């Protein structure tokens, strides 16, 4: 039995497996520039975050209808459940779909078809987190929030993702303030490729409750002390960090030192179709290649529920 866990850092578009990509391409008459699934898989050799994002956005062309988004989410939930995930807080990137002429309602209601039946069908409770693309403008983020207003009963929080360096958190101060006023929870990617200062800024300026990745906090001892003191969760993604070359090898990952420092670390899959594994695979990898002991794996699983947006009763039921 895999350890029961919550997944808190998961881009639903990053769960698009090559087989489903080809099936959706056929269903929607979209031409993919790859001969077959093997040729597509061979393209998953990334030099950095941007080289991954280029393929990630290009493959989204196959996602067109509510049914497509429902099939995508249902496939993820089935795989996650098989690896012990009991609760999933799922990112989506509406701007990447709006730019292709796919409406907000198609995305949210499509995802909701799968999320709404997930507890009964897969035993996985869910939350939806709408991310803004940080390499798009602040105005575009604000317009996206307005576009999402009819769907806010489906959306728990907001996040910030895409190309990090050169797009500091402060650029999105206004949209985070507007989202807070609407009662939305706030998280942001910071310190994946960007500097530790972006983590500090996400906390101070955007008022985030969790940091997605946060890997580079280790470069700033005062920041580490603050994250420990304030129990700010970090949603780490070890296999992603290897594939996007944030670390040279998994053995070089600072996760053991981060746990020893008292940081509230969680382990997640980020974009599992692209990075070689789902949540349980990430747990297995840090056990096998980083030497984390069973007690540390249990701590990571416990942290994942503590850091989730579940209330106390929901948390007890999910564990
Ligand atoms: N979008 C999807 N995956 C991402 C990641 N690891 N970092 C930033 N943006 C992303
Ligand atoms: Zn991510």
Q: What local confidence, expressed as pLDDT, does residue 265 receive?
A: 98
Distance 188 CA to ligand 2 centre (A): 9
Model confidence band, residue 296 (pLDDT cutoffs 50, 70, 90): very high
Does 159 fall in a domain? yes
CA distance 63 to 76: 15
Residue nearest to atom 6 of ligand 1 (CA): 270
Does 319 fall in a domain? no
Domain CATH code at residue 253:
3.20.20.140
- Which positions ≥6 away from 65 have C-beta within 8 Å? 28, 106, 110
CB 157 within 8 A of CB 186: yes
Does 316 fall in a domain? no
**Does ligand 1 lie within 6 Å of residue 14's CB atom?**
yes
As for how many domains the chain has, the answer is: 1
Which-ligand-closest: CA of 52? 1
* Short-list 265, 319, 278, 214, CA closest to 11: 278
Residue nearest to atom 4 of ligand 1 (CA): 162
**DSSP symbols for 248-314:** SSGGG-SHHHHHHTT-EEEE--BSHHHHT--HHHHHHHHHHHH---HHHHHHHHHHHHHTSS--HHH
Give the residue numbers spanning the domain of 99: 5-307
Q: What is the arithmetic mean of pLDDT over 99-118?
A: 98
Q: What local confidence, expressed as pLDDT, does residue 48 receive?
A: 95
Secondary structure (3-state) at 318? helix
Give the ipTM: 0.98
Does 59 fall in a domain? yes
* Structure token digits, residue 71: 């099939």
- Which positions ≥6 away from 142 have C-beta within 8 Å? 174, 175, 178
pLDDT of 315 over the 90 cut: no
**Residue numbers annotated as active site:** 192
Q: Is residue 97 marked as binding? A: no
Does 106 fall in a domain? yes
Does 179 fall in a domain? yes
Distance 241 CA to ligand 2 centre (A): 10
Distance of CA 112 to the CA centre of its chain: 17
Question: pLDDT by residue (tens digit) across 4-49?
Answer: 999 999 999 999 999 999 999 999 999 999 999 999 999 999 999 9
Does 30 fall in a domain? yes
- Going along the chain, which residue ranges are E strands? 5-11, 85-92, 125-133, 157-161, 185-190, 210-213, 233-236, 264-267
Does 312 fall in a domain? no
Model confidence band, residue 313 (pLDDT cutoffs 50, 70, 90): confident
Distance 72 CA to ligand 1 centre (A): 18
pLDDT of 1 over the 90 cut: no
pLDDT of 309 over the 90 cut: yes
pLDDT of 314 over the 90 cut: no
pLDDT of 318 over the 90 cut: no
Question: pLDDT by residue (tens digit) across 140-178?
Answer: 999 999 999 999 999 999 999 999 999 999 999 999 999
């Amino acid at each position: 039995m895999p350890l029961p866990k919550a997944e808190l850092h998961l881009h639903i578009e990053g769960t698009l497996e090559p087989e489903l990509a080809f099936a959706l391409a056929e269903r929607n008459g979209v031409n993919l520039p790859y001969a077959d699934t093997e040729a597509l898989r061979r393209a998953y050799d990334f030099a950095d975050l941007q080289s991954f994002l280029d393929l990630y956005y290009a493959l989204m062309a196959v996602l067109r209808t509510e049914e497509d988004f429902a099939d995508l989410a249902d496939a993820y939930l089935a795989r996650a459940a098989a690896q012990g995930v009991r609760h999933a807080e799922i990112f989506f990137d509406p701007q990447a779909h709006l730019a292709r002429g796919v409406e907000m309602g198609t995305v949210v209601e499509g995802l909701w078809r799968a999320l709404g039946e997930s507890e009964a069908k897969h035993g996985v409770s869910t939350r939806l987190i709408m991310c803004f693309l940080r390499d798009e403008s602040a105005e575009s983020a604000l317009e996206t929030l307005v576009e999402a207003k009819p769907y806010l009963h489906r959306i728990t929080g907001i996040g910030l993702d895409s190309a990090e360096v050169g797009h500091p958190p402060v650029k999105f101060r206004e949209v985070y303030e507007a989202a807070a006023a609407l009662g939305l929870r706030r998280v942001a990617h910071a310190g994946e490729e960007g500097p530790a200062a972006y983590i500090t800024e996400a906390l101070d300026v955007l008022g985030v409750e969790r940091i997605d990745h946060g890997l580079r906090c280790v470069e700033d001892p005062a920041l580490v002390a603050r994250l420990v003191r304030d129990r700010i969760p970090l949603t780490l993604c070890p296999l992603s960090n290897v594939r996007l070359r944030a670390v040279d090898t998994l053995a070089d990952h600072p996760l053991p030192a981060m746990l020893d420092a008292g940081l509230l670390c969680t382990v997640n899959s980020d974009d599992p179709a692209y990075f070689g594994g789902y949540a349980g695979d990430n747990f297995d990898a840090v056990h096998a290649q980083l030497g984390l002991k069973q007690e540390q794996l249990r701590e990571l699983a416990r942290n994942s529920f503590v850091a989730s947006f579940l209330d106390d009763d929901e948390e007890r039921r999910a564990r």
